[in-house]
Amino acid sequence: MRKALITGVSGQDGSYLAEYLLTKGYAVHGMVRHNSAGSYGWATQIEAKSIEKGQLTLHVGDLLDYGSLDRLVRLVEPDEVYNLAGQSHVGHSFELAEYTASATGLGALKLLEVIRNYNRGIRIYQSGSSEMFGNSATQTQDESTPFSPQSPYAVAKVYAHQSVLQYRNSYGIHASNGILFNHESPRRSPDFVTRKVTKAVAEIIAGSRNNLTLGNLSASRDWGYAPEYVAAMHMMLQRDEPNDFVIATGITHTVEELVQVAFGLVGLTWRDYVLSDSALYRPSEVHRLCGNAEKAHDLLGWRPQTSFEELIAHMLNADLERAGVSMRVSSSTLRS
């Protein structure tokens, strides 16, 4: 039985990856940060069900603490490590710049050092971000597009990305970077705009709120479905040689289009409910990101399957259920 260690297993990507690897017959170990509540998000639910699918074991550790990483890798003896942990919110990184640099940037370096010192045969995946491209001069971004980070989060991700390249080239470690464009799901935190919107729509239908205030409605992003993106992570580590891959749909939508679809799914006109407040703009805005995933198509055989409208409908149905609303929506209603 192959063994995988996932940092950030309690988050959106980590929980979907854990479930995916369990279906592949892996023994999955997840690293979580200690908290007094003793509950670790989605990972707790998956752990409770994992007896039916395989094995998931949670361990306490922290990317800020080299000792805990070293201890955990030696304990688990993984074949593969997936680094999905760190401070992952672009907006919050402006307020938590030093923490973001330490957890998101230096945390990746510490993991690479652990592997270099313990077992260079361990394969490691580093989760990158389209935010590293910033306000790119190109219409689409691929693996050769220059980075132009516009936030502390993006700067930290660039540092982690370059660290992977250095350890791969200097020490022969099988380390791959996934440059993932925005990917969403019902497990996305409400801090992120897609889930903020679908949660608000559900609450408006439930009668528990009246409107929604957002920042820049013209920002344009390439949004995909998270469970499909974690499959690409696994594909990268099955290759004989490590490499770097952009994972994206190649299609962009503005935040305005996002709210138009979400409100349209429940028969509402978004302009009656949505306000834009410039106070919510970021100190440095990234206006448009669109990925070119041809390399992943050709070398991994990976392609996105879920449309933007299907994604939003899926998220909205989950939030309607959470809000106690029996209504269910379908993306087909937008095309009728």
264-301, pLDDT tens digit by residue?
Answer: 999 999 999 999 887 777 777 788 999 999 999 999 99
- Strand, helix or coil for residue 5: strand
Give the β-pairing of 55-60 and 27-32.
parallel
Identity of the amino acid at 137: A
| Cβ count within 10 A of residue 211 | 10
- Strand, helix or coil for residue 1: coil
- Domain annotation covers residue 243: yes
- Strand, helix or coil for residue 214: strand
* Residue 303: predicted pLDDT: 97
Annotation marks residue 153 as catalytic:
yes
| Cβ count within 10 A of residue 92 | 16
- Say which CATH number the domain at 211 has: 3.90.25.10
Are the C-beta atoms of residues 223 and 184 closer than 8 Å to each other?
Answer: yes
- Strand, helix or coil for residue 290: coil
* Residue 39: predicted pLDDT: 56
Q: Which helix (H) or strand (E) holds 247?
A: strand 244-247
* Residue 44: predicted pLDDT: 62
Q: How far apart are CA 187 and CA 227, in angstroms?
A: 10
Q: Taking the model in full, what pTM does it have?
A: 0.93
- Based on C-alpha coordinates, what's the Rg of the chain? 20
Q: How far apart are CA 22 and CA 54, in angstroms?
A: 5
Are 149 and 32 members of one domain?
yes
Q: Whose CA is closest to 91, among 181, 200, 196, 191? A: 191
The domain containing residue 327 runs over which residues? 189-221+252-289+306-334
* Residue 176: predicted pLDDT: 98
Structural domains in the chain (count): 2
Are 51 and 171 members of one domain?
yes
User: CA geometry: angle at 26 spanning 20 and 31, to 5°?
Assistant: 80
* Residue 47: predicted pLDDT: 55
Q: Whose CA is closest to 143, among 93, 194, 178? A: 178
Q: How far apart are CA 87 and CA 133, in angstroms?
A: 18
Are the C-beta atoms of residues 7 and 111 closer than 8 Å to each other?
Answer: yes
Are 115 and 262 members of one domain?
no
* Residue 40: predicted pLDDT: 58
- Domain annotation covers residue 231: yes
Distance of CA 214 to CAs 21, 274, 288, 312, Å?
A: 36, 7, 17, 17
Are the C-beta atoms of residues 100 and 131 closer than 8 Å to each other?
Answer: no
- Domain annotation covers residue 295: no
Annotation marks residue 39 as catalytic:
no
Are the C-beta atoms of residues 287 and 219 closer than 8 Å to each other?
Answer: yes
Q: Whose CA is closest to 8, among 112, 87, 101? A: 87
* Residue 42: predicted pLDDT: 61
Are 240 and 285 members of one domain?
no
Annotation marks residue 229 as catalytic:
no
Residue from 10, 15, 88, 129 carrying the catalytic annotation? 129
What length does the chain have? Answer: 336
* Residue 59: predicted pLDDT: 93
Are the C-beta atoms of residues 264 and 334 closer than 8 Å to each other?
Answer: yes
Residue from 19, 47, 80, 131 carrying the catalytic annotation? 131
DSSP state of 102: I
Are 179 and 279 members of one domain?
no
Strand partners, 28: 4, 56
Are 115 and 101 members of one domain?
yes
* Residue 34: predicted pLDDT: 75
Residue from 20, 26, 82, 153 carrying the catalytic annotation? 153
Are 209 and 147 members of one domain?
no
- Domain annotation covers residue 311: yes
Q: Which helix (H) or strand (E) holds 227?
A: helix 226-237
* Residue 167: predicted pLDDT: 98
* Residue 50: predicted pLDDT: 53
- Say which CATH number the domain at 114 has: 3.40.50.720
Are 137 and 176 members of one domain?
yes
| Cβ count within 10 A of residue 7 | 28
Are 265 and 138 members of one domain?
no
Nearest 5°: phi and psi at 180? -90, 125
* Residue 52: predicted pLDDT: 45
